[in-house]
């Protein structure tokens, strides 16, 4: 069973039909929307400031979400995929974005709607990633624009797949 811990009077709020892996950790001022999945070893640490997650978001294995005390928050829109071993620290990720495996997104960065952060990239503090663009590298830089419909279709497909995968684990619990 996932560790859900109240801190400083804040108890995490978990949306309907959201899957939490057995060793996921959700702490403090965290609000998670509907149909999300928080995978094995993921840590959402809302002890020093708030974390707000939309609907149909998947936070994959080993990812860490945290903020700066009294300075930064995390806001994640709908249909966002956060790859394995990602660190998001006090950033805003708009709807339909994809954060590739092993990436780091730092305080006050904004990843625009439908944008893609390539695996292993580092998005520096205060970077503004344009909607519908691909950023890659260390530090992450603009690579190219993507077709908005193609990006939306791909990102929504990944989000739907993770909803399906989480269903497999819920079925195992029910047996």
Mean pLDDT for the chain?
94
**pTM (predicted TM-score):** 0.94
Find the CATH number of the domain harbouring 130: 2.160.10.10
Paired sense of beta strands 13-14 and 81-82, if any? unpaired
Classified as helix, coil or strand, 21 is: coil
Q: Please tell me the predicted confidence (pLDDT) of residue 159.
A: 84
Average pLDDT over residues 58-79: 96
End-to-end alpha carbon distance in the chain: 16
Domain that holds residue 104: 3-174
Q: Please tell me the predicted confidence (pLDDT) of residue 172.
A: 59
Q: What is the pLDDT of residues 102-134, one digit of tens each?
A: 999 999 999 999 999 999 999 999 999 999 999
Model confidence at 165: pLDDT above 70: yes
Domain count, the chain: 1
């Amino acid at each position: 069973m996932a560790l859900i811990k109240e801190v400083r009077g804040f108890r995490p709020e978990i949306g309907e039909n959201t899957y939490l892996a057995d060793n996921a950790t959700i702490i403090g001022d965290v609000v998670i929307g509907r149909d999300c999945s928080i995978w094995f070893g993921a840590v959402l640490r809302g002890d020093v400031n708030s974390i707000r997650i939309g609907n149909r978001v998947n936070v994959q294995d080993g990812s860490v979400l945290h903020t700066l005390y009294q300075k930064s928050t995390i806001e994640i829109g709908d249909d966002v995929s956060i790859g394995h071993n990602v660190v998001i620290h006090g950033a805003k990720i708009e709807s339909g974005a994809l954060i590739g495996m092993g990436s780091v997104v730092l305080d006050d960065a904004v990843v625009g709607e439908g944008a893609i952060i390539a695996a292993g990239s580092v998005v520096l503090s205060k970077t503004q990633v344009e909607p519908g663009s691909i950023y890659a590298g260390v530090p992450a830089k603009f690579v190219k624009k993507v077709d908005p419909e193609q990006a939306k279709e791909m990102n929504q497909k990944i989000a739907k797949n993770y909803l399906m995968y989480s269903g497999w684990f819920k079925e195992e619990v029910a047996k």
